[in-house]
Amino acid sequence: MADTKKLYIKTYGCQMNVYDSERMAEAMGGAGYEATDTPGDADMILLNTCHIREKAAEKVYSELGRLKGFKADNPDLKIGVAGCVAQAEGEEIMRRQPAVDLVVGPQSYHRLPEMEAKIQQGEKALDTDFPEEDKFEKLKSRPKAKRGPTAFLTVQEGCDKFCAFCVVPYTRGAEVSRPVDRILTEARDLVERGVREITLLGQNVNAYHGHGSDGDWSLAKLIWELDKVDGLERIRFTTSHPNDMMDDLIEAHGTCSKLMPYLHLPVQSGSDKILKRMNRSHDRDSYLRLVERIRAARPDILLSGDFIVGFPEETEADFQDTMNLIEEVKYGQAFSFKYSSRPGTPAAERALVDDGEATDRLHRLQGLITHQQREIQDSMVGRDVSVLFEKPGRFEGQMMGKSEYLHAVHVMETDAVIGDLRRVRIVESRTNSLAGVMIPD
């Protein structure tokens, strides 16, 4: 039997890329590879890239330049680029960086074993198609190894919203939902292997409309079916779009005990003018009314959001509209960015806001978000929460897990083990985490 080859995957970006990297590793397992955490030991290095963040492509090229050194030491090393930068850049990656052997888009990575066989023959391999076949169905089954207590599960990919700043419709393609039976089979398999919490993933996950035996299912209907899976204790989903937050999903937040009281609901801006320029298809008031309805269904829900500052034509008044919206909603978490142009998107042709002004706005917005996060964390002191323990802490006898609100919680002197779901009383609010003590059973 041939020696097992080593595969190193570096993952950039969102949870969907984390899930994709897991599936890539499984696909390559069938080609005789096993994972390694050390790039210097690898026979193949894959960069699973994201095109959302600023200067994403430049960062990938910089990393590829660094990896050339590994190839100099090991001429048999194969280097590949996967994900959204691979989809967007295609042949340009191979032209700019000859050390790259393989480029594969996010809809084609089920073909990795065939591409690997090709590069072993000394050829280059490029596949950025949007194939008709279901990549998840083509991938080999997940191995039956024991899993940690949490897992991601992709249920929907692509986007039809065409926000003016976003490359996802071009790199991930149109919205596609996976069939219900395949999702349920994968979820049950994960639970059999030790998973107690599943996060359902999609670029617009609440636009899910997968086909079941009785027609198309909504995300809420899928959640209620997952609620019946014995051993699955927690359900989350991300990332959602305000326009797809339907009545049944709002109701599920108030009535489904396994659906956690945490919702990521990006708004991007509080200015109607900027929202229109962004092609967001919702306005400030409709978003605020939606938040009211969600909180009426689940008063303790923790909301997180996304914000872009310095979008073309944003004035100080527009920015203040965003700050006022943040003040009104009160976010427990948020992700905020300074606008950066993405070639090929409608906004790329527009005049930029002064960089210094955009940076100042970002700092002010992040200061407000940090203040709100801290206030909400401080309000947790004295409350009892449910913690799913995921790993040991930094100190002996310490365990770390996540509350139902997705707060990191550290507990000392506990008999809890990884995978336990236990009641904890919060006694201290720290920077980006909480400290608690076990509540006796």
Q: Which residues belong to the annotated binding site?
A: 14, 50, 84, 159, 163, 166
Sheet holding 197-201, edge to edge: 150-154, 197-201, 234-238
Contacts for 71 with CB less than 8 Å, ≥ 6 apart:
77, 79, 99
Q: Are 208 and 218 in contact (CB under 8 A)?
A: yes
> From CA 283, how far away is CA 404, in angstroms rounded?
30
> Is there a cis peptide before residue 370, judged by omega within 30 degrees of 0?
no
Neighbours of 193 (CB within 10 A): 15
Q: Are 429 and 378 in contact (CB under 8 A)?
A: yes
3-state SS assignment for residue 212? strand
Which residues are annotated as part of the binding site for [4Fe-4S] cluster? 14, 50, 84, 159, 163, 166
Contacts for 51 with CB less than 8 Å, ≥ 6 apart:
57, 83, 84, 85, 87, 88, 167, 171, 342
In Å, what is the CA distance from 416 to each residue of 102, 194, 383, 401, 403? Answer: 44, 16, 19, 10, 14
Contacts for 86 with CB less than 8 Å, ≥ 6 apart:
49, 93, 103, 104, 105, 106, 128
Which position has the token pair 């590069």? 119
Least Cα distance to 33 among 41, 22, 44 occurs for 44
For 258-276, b/e burial (b = at least 16 CB within 10 A) is: bbbbbbbbbbbbbbbbbbe
> From CA 225, how far away is CA 116, in angstroms rounded?
38
Residue 320, Cα to own-chain centre: how many angstroms? 29
> From CA 232, how far away is CA 150, in angstroms rounded?
10
> From CA 365, how far away is CA 320, in angstroms rounded?
10
In Å, what is the CA distance from 395 to each residue of 407, 436, 439? Answer: 19, 14, 20
Q: Are 155 and 222 in contact (CB under 8 A)?
A: yes
- Provide the token pair at 397: 């006898």
Q: Are 109 and 28 in contact (CB under 8 A)?
A: no
